[in-house]
Structure 1
Amino acid sequence: MTTQELIDQIKIKKSFLCVGLDVDLNKIPKQLLELEDPIFEFNKAIINATHDLCVSYKPNIAFYEAYGLKGWISLQKTISYINENYPEIFTIADAKRGDIGNTSAMYAKAFFEDLNFDSVTVAPYMGKDSVEPFLAFESKHTIMLALTSNEGAFDFQTLTTNGTRGEAEQSGAKELYKQVLETSKTWENSKNLMYVVGATKAEYFTEIRKIVPDSFLLVPGVGAQGGSLSEVCKHGMNANVGLLINSSRAIIYASNGIDFSEKAREEALKMQQEMEAILN
């Protein structure tokens, strides 16, 4: 999917909602556990109930890997179901991969070719040669961790660095996440980069937009983690919206009864209506 196609979907649906498909068998309705593939059946029901209200789905890969081969098969069936039935939906493999070049190339191949996701999240800690293999896929998007929503983000991401690389000339003191953003713009095919920025860091969005004014930002942390949609939009929205607001638990676990998909739709609709009001 191209960036323009994603922008078009936001305009059509008046939504920039991303639904996180983080399936925990301990939280889904008990009657689904009797089925052959309860994870896929849960996902399918959520997708069918919410596809017209969101522009993206984001399975967190750990929630599938935890169940071994069965979980991976459920993931494969889920992404195939989205691609076949709702091809206008932007899909994100929330995998947070990042390793030396040949390993990253294999990760990219797994998510972009085998599973056919539109995008994958990556960690930038190992630098350019760990991210560029993902960027080599012209028609795909790489979503790099920049400033995350968890408490531990302050351990490293906001530390001040002087920008020195070995004996290289100093570029001036700045927070590490800003250095990450600025450096990533110099990488090959950086036009395919998006960034993860947590909703709980809304006050940082203004500075982030000075560095990456046109890039899409994937924003977790609205709702259960306390992030404010209005504050994120106030500081982070650009001319093309440029935001994908993720909500997982608040939507998919709105109910654990037989009405789980209906209640998920109700929660997704609330967010879509709030987004539509902001867009208007």
Structure 2
Amino acid sequence: MSFNTLLRSRWTNANTMLCVGIDPDPHRIPAHLPRNDALFQFCRVIVDATADYACAFKPQFAHFAAQGAEEVLEELIDYIHNAHPGIPVILDAKRGDIGSTAEYYAREAFERYRADAVTVNPYLGADSVKPYADHADKGVIILCRTSNAGGSDLQFLDCGGQPLYQHVARLVAEKWNANGNCGLVVGATFPAELARVREIVGDMPLLIPGIGAQGGDVIATVKAGRTAGGTGMIISSSRAILYAGKGEDFGAAARIAAKATRDAINDANT
């Protein structure tokens, strides 16, 4: 099934808009796990513990690549597809390069890693995004108003009477989304901008990082980011779930944290 179909099924049938981010820090992996397979086992336990409450999983590419663990990332995504086949995987890679190179990055994300969606950077323009969007059954989630404070250095620059992030939102909604498979990254840390993006793009899916460890407010996020139908959001939490526990019960602690976050999102959506 396509990314959009999987995502909407999770929103509706699993009643969740929580995305579990998988950003493994080797210094925070519990010591009891076997050293020769600790990274995969840590991620596997997190996935199994939180799957009931996840609309998507979002492994962060750099957290694996910096450890020389790209094969572990492949193994993890295969595991998610096999053990939890209804839950889409978003590869958080934030790729951005000229079109000819972007074609290879798209193949990397969708063929090597078998991700259902990938995050991309729009700075190089339409031809750098098109190779991803041409995979019509995959999701292409484009950086728009990011959750970090430094995003304002560029994203608030005036662009014909509107800030650049709004210009990006319009470009994606009106010109780049020919296959209906695009989404945008908009941080929970900026609910006013999140609401403005929602006004611009209609029902387009929004990947919303910034709750949990980054301090974004769940109630403000949901009210700003939801569609008229009460969905449309992929609200991501990583560290607050991954490291909810430190010992042998880390999976159970992650499950409790994921359920609490899912429930908070749903409560805010009433």
Shorter-normalised TM range: over 0.9
Contact (CA 8 Å) 1:7, 1:240: kept in 2 or not?
Answer: no
How far did residue 159 of structure 1 move? 1.3
Question: What secondary structure, in the 3-state scheme, does the structure 2 residue paired with 1:31 have?
Answer: coil
Which residue does the alignment assign to 2:14?
13
- Identical aligned pairs, as a percentage? 39
Q: CA deviation at 1:210?
A: 1.8
Q: CA deviation at 1:2?
A: 3.9
| Structure 1 residues not aligned, in runs of 5+ | 163-172
Aligned to 2:182: 193
Tell me, in whole angstroms, the C-alpha distance in 2 between the residues paired with 1:107 and 1:225: 29
Which amino acid in 2 is paired with 1:7? R
Q: Aligned-pair distance for 1:221?
A: 0.4
1:60 maps to: 60
Q: Which residue type is aligned with residue 263 of structure 2? A: Q
Residue identity in the other structure for 1:152:
G
Q: Is the 8 A contact 2:223 2:269 kept in 1?
A: no
Alignment-derived partner of residue 165 in structure 1: none
Give, in whole Å, the separation in 2 of the partners of 1:31 and 1:115.
Answer: 28
Alpha-carbon contact 1:220-1:245 (below 8 Å) kept:
yes
1:208 and 2:187 correspond: no
Shift of 1:203: 1.1
Correspondence for 1:101 among 88, 99, 102: 99
Query: How much has 1:9 moved relative to structure 2?
Result: 1.4
Q: Which runs of 4+ in 1 moved over 2 A?
A: 187-190, 275-280
Q: Which has the larger radius of gyration?
A: 1
Cα shift at 1:88: 0.5
Amino acid at match of 2:175: T
Q: Supply the AA of the counterpart residue of 1:123.
A: N
- Equivalents in 2 of 1:189, 1:103: separation in Å? 21
Measure how far apart 1:121 and its partner are.
0.3
- 1:254 aligned to which of 235, 240, 244: 244
Contact in 1 for aligned 2:136/2:179 (Cα 8 Å): no
Output the amino acid matched with 2:56.
S
Residue pair 1:121, 1:145 contacting (<8 A) in 2 also? yes
Q: Which of 115, 126, 129 matches 1:128? A: 126
Q: CA deviation at 1:249?
A: 0.3
* CA distance in 2: counterparts of 1:96 and 1:26, whole angstroms: 24
1:169 equivalent in structure 2: none
Normalized against structure 2, the TM-score is what? Answer: 0.96
Aligned residues: 267
Which residue type is aligned with residue 18 of structure 1?
Answer: C
Q: Which runs of 5+ in 2 are unaligned?
A: none
C-alpha deviation, 1:235, in angstroms: 1.3
> Do the aligned residues in 2 keep the contact of 1:14 with 1:275 (CA within 8 Å)?
no
* SS of structure 1 residue aligned to 2:193: helix
Alpha-carbon distance in 2 for matches of 1:121, 1:188: 15
SS of structure 2 residue aligned to 1:52: helix
Separation (CA, whole Å) in 2 of partners of 1:111 and 1:206: 30
8 Å CA contact 2:6, 2:87 repeated in 1 = no
| C-alpha distance in 2 between matches for 1:188 and 1:88 | 24
Question: Pick from 108, 111, 116: which aligns with 1:110?
Answer: 108
SS at match of 1:186: helix
Q: Distance in 2 between matches of 1:254 and 1:209?
A: 31
Q: Distance between the aligned counterparts of 1:245 and 1:49, measured in 2? A: 18
CA distance in 1, matches of 2:143, 2:189: 14
Q: Is the 8 A contact 1:95 1:120 kept in 2?
A: yes
Deviations 1:142-165 (A, max 9, x none): 000000010101101011122xxx
Residue number in structure 2 paired with 1:221: 210
Residue 180 of structure 2 aligns to a residue in which SS? helix
Q: Structure 2 CA distance, aligned partners of 1:25 and 1:209?
A: 37
Query: Paired residue for 2:169?
Result: 181
Aligned to 2:257, which of 267, 272, 278? 267
Partner of 1:170: none
SS at match of 2:28: coil
Q: Does 1:243 align with 2:233?
A: yes
Q: How far apart are residue 240 of structure 1 and its match?
A: 5.2
Please, which of 139, 142, 151 is the counterpart of residue 140 of structure 2? 142
Aligned partners of 1:112 and 1:65: how far apart in 2? 17
Contact 2:22–2:58 under 8 Å retained in 1: yes
RMSD: 1.2
